[in-house]
Amino acid sequence: MIGLLGKKLGHTRVYDASGNAIAVTVVLAGPNRVLQVKAKDGKDGYNAVQLGFDDQKAQRLSKAELGHVTKHKGAPVKRIKEFRDFSLTVKPGDIVGPDMFMVGDYVDAIGTTKGRGFEGVVGRWAFAGGDATHGCKGWKRRSGAIGQRLFPGTVMRGMKMPGHMGMQSRTTQNLEVIQVRKEDNLILIKGSIPGSEGDYVVIREAKKYPVVQARKDREEAAKKAKERAEAEAKAKKDTKKK
């Protein structure tokens, strides 16, 4: 498992070799500084790597955070994220960036959704509401009855009702990496990811389609395409000879 901390910058579109427009999300995914490396045979009891992202002034960290960073001889950062079973071999002080991913890899993006404030059932749960006809008496965007009559006489747990919407951690899976710009520490990912522009996000290897498998599939597809092209060229050459 590999992953990075990043910041969602916005959206744009790029064009592939065939001229097709692809909508992408631009993520600033580096530099990530390795703060700590945990080992299963050590006192921690499991394998993990702690990454820090976005430099911060030391006086803006709590004493606990500053003590942790100082202990491992790192620099103050705004965000720290731990990745278990990190695939790359790294040591404290190393810098990792978006070049750990390649074009064609698939990733999962984890972020906090936009805050929508207090929403009604139509906006929050897509309820149809009441009839917009004569005599509706203001029930157009209401949920309707929520009671259970005499039995059980209570509102059922989990009833969909108006309330706070958004500001929840969400994961969008299996997003394709379209471009990797190492010099600018940018990753261009196909589609949208949770969060507003400027929010921190986690970009990790797709759990359902690991990087190793994706790269293996691409190599096999390229090999088959090459063999098919060679076979077609040979068949065309034989036809000309006849």
Q: How confident is the model at residue 30 (pLDDT cuts 50, 70, 90)?
A: confident
52/106 Cα distance (integer angstroms): 23
Q: Cα(178)–Cα(231) distance, rounded to whole angstroms?
A: 30
Q: Residue 144's pLDDT band (boundaries 50, 70, 90)?
A: confident
DSSP state of 75: -
- pLDDT bucket at 44, cuts 50 / 70 / 90: confident
Name the residue ranges covered by the structural domains of the chain.
116-165, 210-242
| Non-local CB neighbours of 201 within 8 Å, separated by 6+ positions | 5, 6, 7, 8, 27, 109, 110, 111, 193, 194, 195
The Cα 46–Cα 30 span in angstroms is: 25
pLDDT band at 9 (very low <50, low <70, confident <90, very high): very high
| DSSP 8-state symbol, 177 | E
> What integer is the mean pLDDT of 136-155?
84
Cα(49)–Cα(32) distance, integer angstroms: 11
Number of Cα atoms under 13 Å in the Cβ half of residue 209: 15
For 6, list phi and psi in degrees, rounded to 5. -155, -175
Tell whether the model's pLDDT for residue 238 goes beyond 80: no
For 179-190, the pLDDT digits (tens) are 999 999 999 999
Helix, strand, or coil (residue 51): strand
Tokens of 47: 């394998």
- pLDDT of 63-90, one tens digit each? 999 998 888 888 899 999 999 989 888 8
CATH of domain 116-165: 4.10.960.10
Mean per-residue pLDDT, 47-51: 93
Q: H-type helices in the chain, by residue range?
A: 63-71, 121-125, 211-241
Instruction: Inform me whether the pLDDT recorded for 139 exceeds 90.
Output: no
User: Which residues are 161's β-sheet partners?
Assistant: none
Percent of residues, the chain, with pLDDT higher than 90: 56
Q: How confident is the model at residue 154 (pLDDT cuts 50, 70, 90)?
A: confident
Is the pLDDT at 240 greater than 80? The verdict is: no
Distance CA 187, CA 154 (A): 51
Report how far apart the first and last C-alpha atoms of the chain are (Å, whole number): 55
Q: What are the two backbone dihedrals, phi and then psi, of residue 223, each rounded to the nearest 5 degrees?
A: -65, -45
**What percentage of the chain has pLDDT greater than the value 70?**
99
What is the four-CA torsion angle of 185, 189, 193, 199, rounded to 10 degrees?
Answer: 10
When pLDDT is averaged across residues 221-242 and rounded to a whole number, the result is 84
pLDDT at 242: 64
Please indicate whether residue 135 or residue 119 has the higher confidence score (pLDDT).
Answer: 119
Q: Pick the residue with more confidence: 137 or 104?
A: 104
Contact 13, 24 (CB under 8 A): yes
Give bridge partners of residue 189 from the DSSP assignment: 25, 177
Q: What does pLDDT average to over the chain?
A: 90
- Rounded mean pLDDT of 206-234? 88
The answer to whether the CB of 164 falls within 8 A of the CB of 125 is: no
